[in-house]
Every structure is written in structure tokens, then in C-alpha cells.
Structure 1
Amino acid sequence: MAKLILFCGLPGSGKTTLARKLAEETSAVRLCPDEWMADLDIDLFDEKRRAKVEALLWKLGKELLTLGQNVILENGLWSRKERDDKRHDAEQLGANTEMHYLDVPLDELMQRIENRNASGAHATVPITREQLEKYSKVFEAPDERELALFSKAVVH
């Protein structure tokens, strides 16, 4: 049975690092909007184009799940609605769902982001503490009841 692996976390929480590891372990296709946007020379903060890229990647992800392929969708999934929608769609396709919630303190996130900013890594953009604090205010962390809805849930 195919499996959809999702991530929930703010920038710097380790989504990409974990996604790469899990892709190898589970033979999953990893779909990362940030990397696709960077490869297409799209500003990572362009919300209109991001929405289009994410929609296309999710369409591809659903096709892969239908074919029995494990899929890693490497979006941050900051809202409960986003997570519910992806879980529901995958379940309708007969796939198992796995959620990884990366719960990292703000100061540690900022340290990781500063290190990443200095490295100039592909598919990343500099993020300030002010931006990160703004993001943390709109981020909807999953609770135990929500996590229980997934076939498997892991808090990191």
C-alpha cells in the first residue's frame, strides 16, 4: 500500500534533512516546492506562483500514490486545513498517511536559519528573526487528537 509522508514545521525545523533521509529509507518520491521553485528561478516568496507549484506537485503526488508509489510532500503545512485536506485526499486514494511534526524552539530555529543563510544552500532564502516570529504566530501546531488521525505520526 502506498504511503503519503507529510511534514509540519517552520523554516529551519529540519524538514528537508528528514525528507531526504526518509526518501532513501522508504523509496519515496520527494516533492519539494522550494527546490522546484528555485530550479525554475521563481522567487520563493512569490505566493501566487508558490500556490501553483504546490498544486501541480500535489496533483503529481496523487497520481504517484494511485500507482502505488510512496510520496513525500515537503510542504510546511502550517494550517490544520492543509493537513486535513492532504490526509483526506490520500485516504480516498487508499494510501496510508504519515505525519512528521518538527517541534523546534524558536531560538534553535533561528540558529539553524542563520547557519543556512550563511551557507547559501540551494533552494533557500535568507529569513530574519522578525519573519520567523511572524510565521510562528500564524503556524497552527497539530495537537494529539489531530496526530491520531494519521496512520502514523512522529513528533521530532
Structure 2
Amino acid sequence: MSERRPRLVLICGLPGAGKTTLAKRLEREMPAARLCPDERLAETGFSRFDEAARARIERDQWVHAQDLLTAGSSVVLENGFWERGERDEKRLRARELGAEVELRYLAVPLAELQRRIAVRNREPGSVVLTAEMLREWQGGFEAPTQDELDLFDPPMP
């Protein structure tokens, strides 16, 4: 029986799409290390909107993810991956390291994202996001095409 190769899972979607819920489930089921920039920002006392801190944390988590993949562990990255270029970079590098690479795109209509965010905004300690923010972010989000999705390994059963 052959040993399973390490796997990198990229969780792609806008706020409210269910990225954390899916990532936590995959973390248990695979099993895998789950790396979440939003959680790390909160742990270190930075605002989720501090772009310099976010960039630094995402860079550090990517270095850690590569170390884990090299050691044979699977990793779930929960960055959102709004741009195709970033998804391509992670896919190609993980393949160089001998890992399978999966993209989980959570396509959720804007009205549902707004509903979910409104519910989450009422939770104690949550970072409040507005409908205007979601609309603006949706405009800058590069949704994966089927051609791009075909470049990734199929999801694990």
C-alpha cells in the first residue's frame, strides 16, 4: 500500500463564504495543519485591516506551510485567495515540493454573504463588516474559472 502524498488545500472565497467552517472540518478529516491569517492577526493584536501585518503573516504562514509539506504533512490555507496569480504561485510551488494541490472555491451569492455577515456582526467580539465592504471586495475578487479549477487535483473523497 502506497503512502498518501502531502496535500495543500487553498480555501478561496469572500468573507462570509464559509472558509473557516470548511477549513476546520478539513483540518480534522484529512488531518492537516490549518493556517488562518485572520486568527493570527487577532492573536497578535493586529487589526484585520492592517494590510502590512496581514502580508507579513501570510508570508510567514506560507513559509511554514512549505516546511510542513516538505516534511510530508498536509496543510489547509485559509487566506481567501482572491487573485489568480497567488493561487497559481501556491499551486506551482506545492507541486515542486511533491504535494497534491486542491482549490476549494466557495461561490456564495452577494445577498447570502451579506446575510451571513450581518449575523456574524452581532456575535460578541466580531470584526464588523458592512454590505458596502462586501460589494467593494466582490469587485476586486477574481473568481476561479473552470479552466483554472481543472489545473488542481480533485478534492479528496
Give 1:83-94 correspondences, 5 Å limit.
83-94=87-98
Give 1:11-26 correspondences, 5 Å limit.
11-26=15-30
Paired with 1:152 and 1:48, the residues of 2 have a C-alpha distance of 33
Q: Which residue of 1 aligns with 2:11?
A: 7
Does the 8 Å CA contact 1:147/1:153 hold for their aligned counterparts?
A: no
Q: Which residue of 1 aligns with 2:53?
A: 49
Uncovered stretches (5+) of structure 1, i.e. residues with no partner:
none
Query: Larger radius of gyration, structure 1 or 2?
Result: 2
Q: Is 1:98 aligned to residue 95 of structure 2?
A: no
Q: Which residue of 1 aligns with 2:131?
A: 129
* TM-score after normalising by structure 1: 0.95
- SS class of match (1:52): helix
Q: How far did 1:126 drift?
A: 0.8
* TM-score after normalising by structure 2: 0.94
Does the 8 Å CA contact 1:91/1:97 hold for their aligned counterparts?
A: yes
Q: Which residue of 2 aligns with 1:34?
A: 38
Q: How far did 1:125 drift?
A: 1.4
Q: Which residue of 1 aligns with 2:142?
A: 140
Paired with 2:93 and 2:121, the residues of 1 have a C-alpha distance of 35
Paired with 2:135 and 2:124, the residues of 1 have a C-alpha distance of 22
Does the 8 Å CA contact 1:12/1:109 hold for their aligned counterparts?
A: yes
Poorly superposed stretches of 4+, deviation over 2 Å: none
Q: How far did 1:153 drift?
A: 5.2
Does the 8 Å CA contact 1:97/1:150 hold for their aligned counterparts?
A: yes
Does the 8 Å CA contact 1:98/1:150 hold for their aligned counterparts?
A: yes
